[in-house]
């Protein structure tokens, strides 16, 4: 049995979750930003993920095709399109004529829920990788025990 597929799938999952964590950190870091270096308002980002080459379903329906199983990959990181929040701060230099400041449409609660989910998914991939490693070591012990 080739354990490299299991390691590659878990590694791709950990990579995707790391990117999700980084994106959430960027969103939370800019929650109070009124404008960026380019003068435009910050747009919250979202990560688009898909399965990497191959199909999980095809691999499960064909035992011989188990080597077709692949992990996940990030397709793109794009603005989420969330509407900006308006906060009344007449003393702010970025306030409009009515005293309102436009802040990014980052929802802190949603970001924290996404953060918890990404952390749990990362941990699950670590557990899966450790299980594959343990199985590989046990297989080596069985084969070399004589």
Average pLDDT, the chain: 86
pTM of the predicted structure, to 2 decimals: 0.80
Half-sphere exposure of 112 (CA within 13 A, CB side): 4
Nearest partner of 46 among 73, 75, 71, 70, judged by Cα: 75
Please report the sign of the dihedral spanned by the C-alpha atoms of residue 30, residue 79, residue 106, residue 42. positive
- Give the per-residue pLDDT at 145: 55
Strand 72-79, strand 100-103: pairing: unpaired
Task: Give residue-wise pLDDT tens across range 39-67.
Answer: 888 999 999 998 886 545 554 544 445 55
- Spatial contact of 98 and 119, defined as CB atoms under 8 Å apart: no
């Amino acid at each position: 049995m080739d354990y490299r597929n299991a390691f590659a799938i878990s590694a791709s999952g950990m990579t995707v979750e790391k990117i999700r964590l980084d994106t959430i950190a960027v969103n939370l870091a800019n929650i109070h930003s009124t404008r960026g270096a380019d003068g435009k308002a910050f747009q919250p980002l979202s990560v688009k993920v898909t399965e990497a080459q191959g199909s999980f379903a095809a691999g499960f329906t064909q035992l011989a095709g188990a080597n077709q199983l692949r992990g996940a990959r990030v397709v793109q990181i794009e603005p989420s399109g969330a509407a900006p929040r308006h906060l009344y701060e007449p003393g702010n230099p970025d306030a409009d004529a009515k005293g309102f400041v436009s802040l990014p449409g980052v929802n802190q609660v949603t970001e924290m829920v996404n953060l918890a989910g990404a952390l749990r998914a990362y941990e699950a991939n670590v557990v899966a990788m450790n299980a594959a490693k343990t199985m590989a070591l046990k297989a080596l012990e069985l084969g070399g025990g004589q």
